[in-house]
Amino acid sequence: MLPFEHTWLPFIYLYSLGGFLFLIGIWIIFRAKSIDLRRSHHRRWLFILIFGYVWYFSIHALLNLAALDVIRPVVVLYGLAVEFILFFVGMRIFRTKRMREA
C-alpha cells in the first residue's frame, strides 16, 4: 500500500495550485479585454481552455485510479475517448453559432 504522499497528494497539489494559476490567467485576460466573448471564435477559445484543464485533470485522475487497481487500464481509454468526442461536439456547437452570425 503506497502512502498518500505518493498517490493523491501530488495530484491535489498539481490541480489546486495549477488550477489557481490557470484561473488567474483567465481572470487577467478577461480583465485586460484580451478575450472578448462577443466574438464567436473567442467563445470557442474559452471552451478550449476550460476543456484542456478538465482533459488533463481526467487523464491524471484516471491513470491514478488504474495504477491503484480501482479501474482497469482500458477504462482510461474509454473515459478519454468520451471526452475527445465531447471536445468535437463542443467545437461543433461553437462553430455552428459562428456560421449563424456570419
Partner 1 sequence: MEAQSTIQTFHSIGTSTDWIVMVVYFIAVMLFGSYFGRYTRSTTDFFFGGRRFSWWLITMSIVATGVGSHSFVKYSAKGFEHGISSTMTYMNDWFFLPFFIFGWLPIVVYSRIRSIPEYFEKRFSPSARFLATILLLLYMIGYIGIGFLTLGKAIIPMLPESFMLFGATIPITLMGAIIVIAIITGIYITFGGQTAVIFTDLLQGFILLFAGLMLFALGLAFLGGFDTFWNLLPIAWKLPLADFNKPPDFNFVGIFWQDAIAGSIGFLFMNQGLLMRFMACKSVDEGRKAAAINILFVLPISAIVVGNAGWLGKAISVVSPNLIPPNTSPDQIFVVVANIVSHPGIFGFVMAALTAALMSTVDTLINATAAIFINDVYRPVHRLIDKGKKISGSRDKRELLVARYASVGVTALGVLAVLAFKNFPTVYEAHGFFHSTLTPPLVVAIFLGIFWKKFTPAAVITTFVAGVGLMLLGARYPGIFIAPFDHGITMNPTHPYSYIRALYNMLVCSGVGVVVGLTTSWQKRLVAYLLQKGKTPMKTLIPISVILFLIPLFNVGSSTLQFIDLMLLVVVLPLVVTHYVSYDEEKQTKGLIVDSIQEARIRFKGGLPNDREGDKALVNWKLHEGSDMNVRFAREDMETMAAETGDLVYLSDKRKWLGGLKSIHSRIGEPHDEPGIVYITEEEMKNGLFVKNRILEAEKEM
The binding site for partner 1 (CB under 8 A) comprises 2, 5-7, 9-11, 13-14, 17-19, 21-22, 25-26, 28-29, 31-35, 39-41, 45, 48-49, 51-53, 55-56, 59-60, 63-64, 66-69, 73, 98, 101-102
Closest separation between CB of residue 88 and partner 1, Å?
12
Closest separation between CB of residue 101 and partner 1, Å?
6
- Phi, psi of 39, deg, nearest 5: -90, 125
Residue 68 vs 82, nearer CB to partner 1: 68
Closest separation between CB of residue 49 and partner 1, Å?
6
The string of DSSP codes covering 47-84 is: HHHHHHHHHHHHHHHHHHHHHTTSS-HHHHHHHHHHHH
What single letter denotes the amino acid at residue 99? M
DSSP code at position 89: H
What single letter denotes the amino acid at residue 40? S
Residue 55 vs 79, nearer CB to partner 1: 55
Dist CA 22 CA 53 (whole Å): 8
